[in-house]
Amino acid sequence: MAKAALITGITGQDGYHLAEFLHGKGYEVYGIIRGQHNPKRARVEQEQPFVKLLEADITDTSSLIRAIETARPDEFYNLAAISHVGYSFKVPQLVADVTGKGVLNALEAIRLTGGEKTIRFYQASTSEMFGGLDYNRPGKGYDETALFHPRSPYGVAKLYGHWITKNYRESYGMHASCGILFNHEGERRGLEFVTRKISNAVARIHLGKQDHIELGNLDAKRDWGYAGDYVVGMWLMLQQDQPDDYVLATGETHTIGEFLDLAFKEVGINDWKPYVKQNPAFMRPAEVDILLGNPAKAEAKLGWRRKVDFPGMVKLMVQHDIGLESATSLD
């Protein structure tokens, strides 16, 4: 019999890639969609008709219970979150409820439906829990043993989600694993994140639809991988006999300037500086200056390997956005 997977956050970047991957593996895929009129529903129905959508919200445990009773999943991937770090400073209490306590709601829904021994659980933890301050391992990067020091309401909420997942594993013997994922991007990334904001602006500048891009802090460094590679790691975690926590990262860190260099060169522009303006509105009250991950454990124990490198990912994103922007009229 085909395995069933229930994904929260199906309308997000990772939800898209994970649904594709699990469908390819023969899973029956259920996705949770929230809101009384979610404009992303039509996109999922059109692009991924194999996904069975269930109406629920991560802040409403009763709706999660009904979703579990319908889907009867073997695997539960909790990707739902308010995931934008900058925005989390604007709505910190909402982020605590959704990104933090939402994880507890999902775990409780599994227990209340009697699934704690049968449903394997994945929690989308993040490198934002490290915060970039305790950068005491130059060259090696953060691994699963590094100290946490979150620098945003998002990072703090995710740390709660991380620890409550570990607590349910230890308290109730649940097969619950946390993937501590460093930044991963791609053609499905939200336009509010810096990589997609840049790739989309570069495409529009190339096509004459826009003349510059406004960004915040250009000095930050990130360990950027491709989202399609990272969802494979999520799945691998749930295929192990024992639950555990794993870092997924590339082991390289790059500045936003390096991303700009590659993206603009993709359209034949060698100097991006005339096209980029700094706008304090995109600065954050506290910044994570540098993130570099060490995926050695995931590589050794899961056999996880990324396929797309940094230049390949930038190229893919810019070319995708050129195609997308060429297909839409001048605006």
3-class DSSP string for the chain: CCCEEEEECCCCHHHHHHHHHHHHCCCEEEEEECCCCCCHHHHHHHHCCCCEEEECCCCCHHHHHHHHHHHCCCEEEECCCCCCHHHHCCCHHHHHHHHHHHHHHHHHHHHHCCCCCCCEEEEEEEHHHCCCCCCCCCCCCECCCCCCCCCCHHHHHHHHHHHHHHHHHHHHCCCEEEEEECCEECCCCCCCCHHHHHHHHHHHHHCCCCCCEEECCCCCEECCEEHHHHHHHHHHHHHCCCCCEEEECCCCCEEHHHHHHHHHHCCCCCCCHHHEEECHHHCCCCCCCECCECCHHHHHHHCCCCCCCHHHHHHHHHHHHHHHHHHCCCC
Q: Is residue 83 a contact residue for ligand F7E (CB under 6 A)? A: yes
Q: Which does 216 bind (CB under 5 to 8 A by kind): ligand NAP, ligand F7E, none?
A: ligand F7E
Q: How far is the CB of 284 from ligand NAP (least distance, A)?
A: 16
Per CB under 6 A, the list member of 101, 175, 222, 320 interacting with ligand F7E is 222
Q: Is residue 282 a contact residue for ligand F7E (CB under 6 A)? A: yes
Report residue 235: phi and psi, to 5°. Answer: -65, -45
212 marked among binding-site residues: yes
CB atoms near residue 236 (< 10 Å)? 18
Q: Is residue 193 a contact residue for ligand F7E (CB under 6 A)? A: yes
Q: How far is the CB of 13 from ligand F7E (least distance, A)?
A: 8
Per CB under 6 A, the list member of 81, 109, 202, 234 interacting with ligand NAP is 81
Q: Is residue 15 a contact residue for ligand NAP (CB under 6 A)? A: yes
What is the spatial distance between Cα 10 and Cα 37, in angstroms, rounded to a whole number?
15
Q: How far is the CB of 318 from ligand NAP (least distance, A)?
A: 18
Q: Is residue 64 a contact residue for ligand NAP (CB under 6 A)? A: no
What is the spatial distance between Cα 256 and Cα 248, in angstroms, rounded to a whole number?
20
Q: Is residue 183 a contact residue for ligand F7E (CB under 6 A)? A: yes
Per CB under 6 A, the list member of 194, 227, 247, 298 interacting with ligand F7E is 194
Bridge-based pairing state of the strands 176-181 and 245-248: parallel
Q: Is residue 57 a contact residue for ligand NAP (CB under 6 A)? A: yes
Stretch that binds ligand F7E, among 48-56, 124-132, 137-145, 306-314 (CB under 6 A): 124-132
* Nearer Cβ to ligand F7E (220/234): 220
Q: Catalytic residue among 30, 154, 160, 168, which? A: 154
Q: Check if 128 is active-site.
A: yes
Tokens coding 186: 């791609």
Which amino acid does the sequence have at 296? A
Q: Check if 126 is active-site.
A: yes
Q: Check if 246 is active-site.
A: no
- Footprint of ligand NAP on 162-201 (CB under 6 A): 181, 183-184, 190
Q: Is residue 223 a contact residue for ligand F7E (CB under 6 A)? A: no
- Footprint of ligand NAP on 16-55 (CB under 6 A): 32, 34-35, 38, 40
Per CB under 6 A, the list member of 104, 143, 216, 255 interacting with ligand F7E is 216
The residues that touch ligand NAP, with contacts defined as CB under 6 A, are 8-15, 32, 34-35, 38, 40, 57-59, 79-83, 98, 124, 126, 181, 183-184, 190
Catalytic positions are 126, 128, 154
Q: Which residues are annotated as a binding site for NADP(+)?
A: 212
The residues that touch ligand F7E, with contacts defined as CB under 6 A, are 83, 85-86, 126-128, 182-183, 192-195, 197, 215-217, 220, 222, 256, 282, 284, 287
